């Protein structure tokens, strides 16, 4: 079964059952409507009767156990059964051309069995109207949450929607649920027994206080097979005894008529009549019985001058089954099995009585009884064998069956030609209707495509306008850049500019404040800044040179290499001395006055001893700070991206620092500088390298020790808003 329907059923109220049919009957005896499953197959039931079997045979439930689900509305099991059976799509309509309520009226009048699905080109949900013999029930799943609506509310929502709906004709196999002891009986046999019992109950009770005794009823029935109306019923449609063998089981309207009287073709043997195992939707059964009773009460012929005869006729009308009612209604139902014309101009005449969506079944039953009764009177006028009731009807109109018989007797060839012409016209009409629907769908598709193209044009025009504004903005920026660089003759990439640049620490005057003075505490920060200069030397000409759209000097002063170098010589000495860390950072602090230059993208030579032989290797760093003799004092790895500094960067810096310290006695510190932040793994690597944690009791802060007297300080620095702050060690 369809997964979406399984999901919907799972939300119904459920309970378990066991002991096969006997257990199921204990559940459904209260007029149950819903579904039952043994884990593999499914039964759909309405009012205790099976309307569909899915993924199994009915006999599979004879001794099964499983779960039953009570539906919140009778429409759902009928609809789900029809959808699982598949049905035959008969027509497609556009709601603006053929409104749903108009289609509903026509299908109800036509005694249709099947369902309407309104879901194509509908965004708000899926809408359904199911029909059993013309009786309609609506259900809808609204919105993305598929909120269930049923009854008039569901129909009103569907009628207000705009979209394309499809009409499906479905044959329902309706049968009673077998007894626990009769699991092997077929649905038709069980239905026949049920019809016999119900017919017995109906014939035991007179229809009116003046009804004749049961013997009179039997006498009346014995004459029924001779009526002309019965012959018409046998010619134009199957006899009532064969109705239960139809592929779609027992029709609701037929079943309603069967409940009102026994089969007239067999006198007192009522078990051969049509089975009463039709699905009862809402009050369809009671409506059918009331309609038939009403027709008997209001349609009885007036008494003639003979009082006794009138009394006998009245009794016959009240108690005896109306055979022509059954035959004419069955024939009419078969004629209306196809979908009726939804356009009133195509209906071929005035609609039949009872066009309402609710209660249409009972009204059609009364209309069919009246027509069948007048048809019998007409047959008597044409020379047939009249029944007692036919002689009491004051006026009559020939039934459709009698009219066709008379026309066939008069000119069979003309009838054949007319029928052929009618069939050809009907085929042409259907072809035109299909063409109309196709053109309407094509028109809607073209309109939809037109709207989409119009939206695309609007969107593209908006994008063009945005691109024009962006173009103008870029032009302005380019113009401004050209104004700033009127003499720019050459350009370099940022990487090329860094690679050939070195920074030098120089003073305006030897008599002014120097790094040595700051180290001894003989100069303050402002004095040092006024006298100290950070000059640059490049391997290329800088006159007329632009880097990244800016003059070279402006670019250089904005780099992280330049900013860190100025902080190291202008600020760090005063931060260490001001916090009293000259001792714990002695190696680093003592090396600061020795800084003479900074090499951007520099390398450091290290000695590697293997097997008693010494080899030299070069290790590259973002920045190398050296003394006047070119010995390395500090190295730095710089991260000017938004990505955090990873653990691997710290591991590489620690190992390279060890190798440099082992080869160069002047080496005092390794710096990791980031404009983002340090990952936890990087911090843990730094802690492990300095031994005992970042707040160790060692006399030297954040010191990577190689031997008792040899090692270097490992420092982590964060760049924020143009400034630099040492986070490890914590000053």
DSSP 658-714: HHHHHH-TT--EEEEEESS-B-HHHHHHHHHHHSS-TT--SSSTTEEESSSS-EEEE
Mean pLDDT of 109-132: 93
Q: With 60 as the cut, is the pLDDT of residue 398 above it?
A: no
Q: Cis bond leading into 729, ω under 30°?
A: yes
Q: What pLDDT does 499 receive?
A: 86
Of 512 and 339, the structure prediction assigns the larger pLDDT to 512
Predicted pLDDT at 731: 74
CB atoms within 10 A of CB 454: 10
The rounded radius of gyration (Å) of the Cα atoms in the chain is 50
Long-range contacts of 430-439 (CB under 8 A, 24+ apart): 433/91, 436/97, 437/91, 437/92, 437/93, 437/94, 437/97
Residue 634: partners with Cβ closer than 8 Å, 6 or more residues away: 568, 588, 591, 595, 624, 625, 667, 668, 669, 670, 671
| pLDDT digit string, tens, across residues 21-30 | 999 988 888 7
Residues 6+ apart with CB under 8 A from 145: none
**H helix runs in 506-593, sequence order:** 515-520, 525-531, 552-557, 560-570, 572-578, 586-591
pLDDT at 373 over 70: no
Mean pLDDT is lowest, of 411-425, 426-440, 556-570, 688-702, for 688-702
pLDDT at 265: 38
* pLDDT tens-place string over residues 145-190: 899 999 999 999 999 999 999 999 999 889 998 876 544 444 433 3
Confidence band (pLDDT; 50, 70, 90) for 694? very low
Average pLDDT score over the chain = 74
* Segment 35-46 mean pLDDT: 94
Axis-axis angle for helices 360-381, 228-236 (nearest 10): 120
The winner for highest mean pLDDT among 47-51, 349-353, 413-417 is 47-51
In percent, the amount of the chain with pLDDT more than 90 equals: 43
pLDDT at 365: 36
Instruction: Note the pLDDT of residue 357.
Output: 45
The residues near 576 (Cβ < 8 Å, ≥ 6 apart) are: 582, 585, 588, 589, 731
pLDDT at 488: 53
Q: Using CA atoms, how far apart are residues 207 and 212, in angstroms rounded to an integer?
A: 9
Greater confidence, 51 or 199? 51
Q: Is 464 exposed, middle or buried (0-12, 13-18, 19+ CB in 10 A)?
A: exposed
pLDDT digits (tens, 9 = 90+) for 111-120: 999 999 999 9
| Average pLDDT estimate for 357-370 | 40
pLDDT at 433 exceeding the cut of 80: yes
User: Is residue 382 scored above 90 in pLDDT?
Assistant: no
Task: Tell me what pLDDT residue 314 has.
Answer: 39
Distance between CA atoms of 317 and 388, rounded to whole angstroms?
A: 9
Whether the predicted pLDDT of 422 surpasses 60: yes
Per-residue confidence band for 720, with pLDDT thresholds at 50, 70 and 90? confident
* Confidence at residue 692, expressed as pLDDT on a 0 to 100 scale: 56
- pLDDT for 576: 92
Q: What is the pLDDT of residue 465?
A: 92
Give the mean model confidence (pLDDT) for residues 419-431.
Answer: 91
Question: Is the pLDDT assigned to residue 337 strictly greater than 90?
Answer: no
If DSSP codes are grouped into helix, strand and coil, which group holds residue 656?
Answer: helix
Mean per-residue pLDDT, 651-660: 92
Show Cβ contacts of residue 643 under 8 Å, excluding neighbours closer than 6 positions: 676
Q: What is the pTM of this model?
A: 0.38
The pLDDT value given to residue 259 = 37
Share of the chain above pLDDT 70, in %: 66
Strand 669-674 with 632-639, pairing: parallel
């Amino acid at each position: 079964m369809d997964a979406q329907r399984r999901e919907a059923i799972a939300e119904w109220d459920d309970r378990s059952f066991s002991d096969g049919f006997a257990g199921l009957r204990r559940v459904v005896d209260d007029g149950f409507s819903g579904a039952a499953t043994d884990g593999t197959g499914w039964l759909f039931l309405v009012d205790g009767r099976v309307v569909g079997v899915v993924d199994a045979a009915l006999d599979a439930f004879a001794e099964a156990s499983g779960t039953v689900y009570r539906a919140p509305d009778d429409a759902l099991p009928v609809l789900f059964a029809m959808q699982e059976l598949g049905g035959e799509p008969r027509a497609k309509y556009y709601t603006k051309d053929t409104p749903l309520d108009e289609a509903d009226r026509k299908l109800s009048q036509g005694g249709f069995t099947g369902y309407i699905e309104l879901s194509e080109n509908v965004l708000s949900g899926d809408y359904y109207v199911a029909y059993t013999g013309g009786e309609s029930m609506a259900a809808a799943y609204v919105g993305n949450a598929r909120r269930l609506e049923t009854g008039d509310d569901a129909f009103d929502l569907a009628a207000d929607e705009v979209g394309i709906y499809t009409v499906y004709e479905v044959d329902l196999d309706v049968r009673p649920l077998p007894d626990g002891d009769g699991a092997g009986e077929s649905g038709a046999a069980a239905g026949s027994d049920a019809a016999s019992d119900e017919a017995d109950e109906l014939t035991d009770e007179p229809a009116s206080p003046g009804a004749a005794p049961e013997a009179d009823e039997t006498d009346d029935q014995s004459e029924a097979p001779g009526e002309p109306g019965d012959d018409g019923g046998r010619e134009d449609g199957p006899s009532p005894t064969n109705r239960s063998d139809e592929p779609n089981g027992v029709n609701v309207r037929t079943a309603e008529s069967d409940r009102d009287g026994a089969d007239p073709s067999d006198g007192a043997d009522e078990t051969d009549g049509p089975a009463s195992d039709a699905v009862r939707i809402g009050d369809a059964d009671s409506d059918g019985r009331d309609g038939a009773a009403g027709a008997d009460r209001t349609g009885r012929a007036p008494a003639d001058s003979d009082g006794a005869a009138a009394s006998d006729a009245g009794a016959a009308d009240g108690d005896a089954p109306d055979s022509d009612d059954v035959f004419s209604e069955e024939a009419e139902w078969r004629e209306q099995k196809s979908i009726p014309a939804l356009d009133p101009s195509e209906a071929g005449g005035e609609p039949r009585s009872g066009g309402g969506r609710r209660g249409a079944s009972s009204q059609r039953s009364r209309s069919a009884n009246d027509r069948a009764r007048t048809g019998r009177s007409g047959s008597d006028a044409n020379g047939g064998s009249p029944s007692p009731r036919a002689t009491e009807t004051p006026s009559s109109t020939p039934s459709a069956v009698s009219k066709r018989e008379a026309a066939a007797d008069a000119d069979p060839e003309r009838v054949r030609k007319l029928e052929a012409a009618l069939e050809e016209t009907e085929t042409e009409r259907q072809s035109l209707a299909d063409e109309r629907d196709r053109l309407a769908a094509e028109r809607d598709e073209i309109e939809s495509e037109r709207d989409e193209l119009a939206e695309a044009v609007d969107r593209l025009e908006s994008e063009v306008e945005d691109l024009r504004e962006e173009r103008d903005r870029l032009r302005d920026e380019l113009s401004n850049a050209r104004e700033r660089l009127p003499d720019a003759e050459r350009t370099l990439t940022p990487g090329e500019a860094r690679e050939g640049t070195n920074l030098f620490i120089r003073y305006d005057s030897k008599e002014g404040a120097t790094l040595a003075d700051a180290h001894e505490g003989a100069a303050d920060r402002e004095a040092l800044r006024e006298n100290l200069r950070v000059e640059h030397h490049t391997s290329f000409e800088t006159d007329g040179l632009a880097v990244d759209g800016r003059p070279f000097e402006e670019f250089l002063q904005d780099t992280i290499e330049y900013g860190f170098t100025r902080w190291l010589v202008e600020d760090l000495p005063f931060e260490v001395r001001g916090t009293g860390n000259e001792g714990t950072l002695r190696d680093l602090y003592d090396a600061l006055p020795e800084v003479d230059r900074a090499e951007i993208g520099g390398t450091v030579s290290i000695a590697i001893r293997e097997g008693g032989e010494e080899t030299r290797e070069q290790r590259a760093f973002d920045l190398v700070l050296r003394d006047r003799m070119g010995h390395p004092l500090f190295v730095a790895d710089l991260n000017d991206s938004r990505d955090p500094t990873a653990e691997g960067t710290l591991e590489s810096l620690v190992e390279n620092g060890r190798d440099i310290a082992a080869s160069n006695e002047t080496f005092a510190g390794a710096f990791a500088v980031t404009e983002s932040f340090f990952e936890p793994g990087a911090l843990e690597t730094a802690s492990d390298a300095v031994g005992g944690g970042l707040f160790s009791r060692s006399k030297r802060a954040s010191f990577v020790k190689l031997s008792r007297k040899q090692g270097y300080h490992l420092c982590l620095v964060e760049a924020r808003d143009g400034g630099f702050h040492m986070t490890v060690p914590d000053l």
